[in-house]
Amino acid sequence: MNILLLGSGGREHALAWKMAASPLVDRLYCAPGNAGIAQEAECVALDIADHAAVIAFCNEKAIGLVVVGPEAPLCAGIVDDLEAAGIKAFGPTKAAAQLEGSKGFTKDICRANNIPTAAYERFTAPQPAKDYVRKHGAPIVVKADGLAAGKGVVVAESVAQAEAAIDMMFEGGLGAAGAQVVVEEFLQGEEASFFALCDGTTAIPLASAQDHKRAFDNDQGPNTGGMGAYSPAPVMTPEMTARTMTEIIEPTLRAMAAMGSPYKGVLFAGLMITEDGPKLIEYNVRFGDPETQVLMLRMMSDLVPALMAARDGVLKSFDLRWYDDAALTVVMAAKGYPGDYQKGTVIEGLDEAAKVEGVQIFHAGTKADGDRILVNGGRVLNVCAIGRSVAEAQRQAYAAVDKINWPGGFCRRDIGRRAIERGT
């Protein structure tokens, strides 16, 4: 079978690496891809927002499955358009992608189905939202309803900060994403990322992971797309996993099916593990980045039949195997990220770094220039390692980081610390 993967980040490099190892794949294409993905797949300069162009490419290359990496094309209905054209696609329809595309939509599903989540209200005007904030006090969380590239959430430590966030969103600071706002209770606990593969009715849990959102060591500095991750997440005990499946994932699938929008694809639940158990912070409708990088290292089974089974609605009899080993990834970013940063600086030493035992390097924002690898994004590299423990994986990953010669980059030095302190 020929596969087309859509996307260009570290997540897509990890998916491409895993799929390229499948004996079921004849040709693997990626649009638009990056310098690392080019080692696993044929990168094609398709505009993935142009669904007609993607369909034409699929017909020309006899693509048997399209795997969609990022959320934007899913929310824009690329799976609907591909399937309508007779091309199999892995991922949710536009209607089902509302689980990520509208925070209010997801909160209402939670409320109607007793799915544990933060108490909330939805607002279409600033004053009632501010009244709600004054009534409940700080800390409190203000969220733009729509997709805002990770900038749509303000965890406000004061009423004034919450009110400023409400004004910013309703004044168009986040574009159309902020035309509606959710204000919700601040949850206390430890966060975890939980992934389930879904076929519309059945969900099977993938491994758990934990990411590190802040830019600097000790969880300081601004929020980012993620500066590192490890798997498994010790906070996700077998009991927490079972509760997450029965209290959160399965009722969501039943609710979506009952609405006529069965959910197929990967459902990524951002969880807060509270004293009362797991609570849903948000859903994403695709693989996480950088969590996928560690999940793919730990997955023993072939990914391709799993994606096909989800798309075909036959996950019920499916079994996924995982290595017991832990995996960890350190994100190397361009200095200045998540603010302004310089593109085009040169990265050296990647070949030496990749020779460290257990290490796999995935590219995120890179571009090839002859033999040179240049920076082409904020998050640039995922230096990943597998080991018998998180501590061992961490040691190997940082040994590889230290072999990379890139003065224009930086990374956190404490990825995995929490798991290691727990003695796992």
Residue type at 293?
A: Q
E runs forming strands in 51-139:
63-68, 89-90, 120-123
Are 371 and 28 contacting, i.e. CB atoms less than 8 angstroms apart? Answer: no
Q: Does 71 bind ligand AMP (CB under 6 A)?
A: no
Residues 198, 195: Cα–Cα separation, whole Å: 10
Please calculate the CA angle 377-378-384 and round it to the nearest 5 degrees: 95
Name the residue nearer to ligand AMP (CB basis): 184 or 289: 184
Name the residue nearer to ligand AMP (CB basis): 43 or 177: 177
Residues 46, 30: Cα–Cα separation, whole Å: 9
Helix (H, G, I), strand (E, B) or coil at 339: coil
Convert residues 91-130 into a mask of x (bound to ligand AMP by CB under 6 A) and - (unbound). ---------------------------x------------
Q: How far is the CB of 118 from ligand AMP (least distance, A)?
A: 4
DSSP structural state of residue 348: B
12, 79, 240, 263, 403 from 258: Cα distances, Å: 32, 20, 26, 11, 53
Mark 188-214 as b/e (b = at least 16 C-beta within 10 Å): ebebbbbbbbbbbbbbbbbbbbbbbeb
Name the residue nearer to ligand AMP (CB basis): 57 or 287: 287
Name the residue nearer to ligand AMP (CB basis): 191 or 217: 191
Q: Does 214 bind ligand AMP (CB under 6 A)?
A: no
Q: Does 270 bind ligand AMP (CB under 6 A)?
A: yes
Binds ligand AMP (CB under 6 A): choice among 12, 184, 302, 392: 184
Helix (H, G, I), strand (E, B) or coil at 185: strand
Residues 127, 359: Cα–Cα separation, whole Å: 53
Q: How far is the CB of 120 from ligand AMP (least distance, A)?
A: 8
DSSP string, 105-123: HHHHHHHHTT--B--EEEE
Name the residue nearer to ligand AMP (CB basis): 42 or 185: 185
Q: Does 219 bind ligand AMP (CB under 6 A)?
A: no
Residues 384, 398: Cα–Cα separation, whole Å: 9
DSSP string, 201-259: S-EEEEEEEEE--EEEGGGEEEE-S-SEEEES-TTS-HHHHHHHIIIIIHHHHHHHHHT
CA dihedral 228, 233, 234, 239 (to 10 degrees): 160
Q: How far is the CB of 191 from ligand AMP (least distance, A)?
A: 6
Q: Does 282 bind ligand AMP (CB under 6 A)?
A: yes
Q: How far is the CB of 226 from ligand AMP (least distance, A)?
A: 10
Residue type at 386?
A: I
DSSP structural state of residue 21: T
Give residue for tokens 């951002």: 270
Which residue stretch of 17-25, 179-187, 234-242, 343-351 sits at the interface with ligand AMP (rule: CB under 6 A)? 179-187
Name the residue nearer to ligand AMP (CB basis): 213 or 243: 213
Binds ligand AMP (CB under 6 A): choice among 65, 187, 192, 206: 187
Q: How far is the CB of 107 from ligand AMP (least distance, A)?
A: 10
Name the residue nearer to ligand AMP (CB basis): 166 or 187: 187
Q: Does 142 bind ligand AMP (CB under 6 A)?
A: no
Convert residues 224-263 into a mask of x (bound to ligand AMP by CB under 6 A) and - (unbound). ----------------------------------------
Name the residue nearer to ligand AMP (CB basis): 152 or 387: 152
- Residues of this chain, 355-394, that bind ligand AMP according to CB under 6 A: none
Closest CA to 323 of 387, 268, 382: 387
Which residue stretch of 122-130, 184-192, 233-241, 310-318 sits at the interface with ligand AMP (rule: CB under 6 A)? 184-192
Residue type at 326?
A: A
Binds ligand AMP (CB under 6 A): choice among 281, 326, 359, 373: 281
Binds ligand AMP (CB under 6 A): choice among 191, 217, 348, 414: 191
Q: How far is the CB of 155 from ligand AMP (least distance, A)?
A: 5
Name the residue nearer to ligand AMP (CB basis): 17 or 337: 337
Name the residue nearer to ligand AMP (CB basis): 150 or 344: 150
Total residues in contact with ligand AMP, by rule CB under 6 A: 13
Residue type at 388?
A: R
Note the residues at the interface with ligand AMP (CB under 6 A): 118, 141, 153, 155, 184-187, 191, 213, 270, 281-282
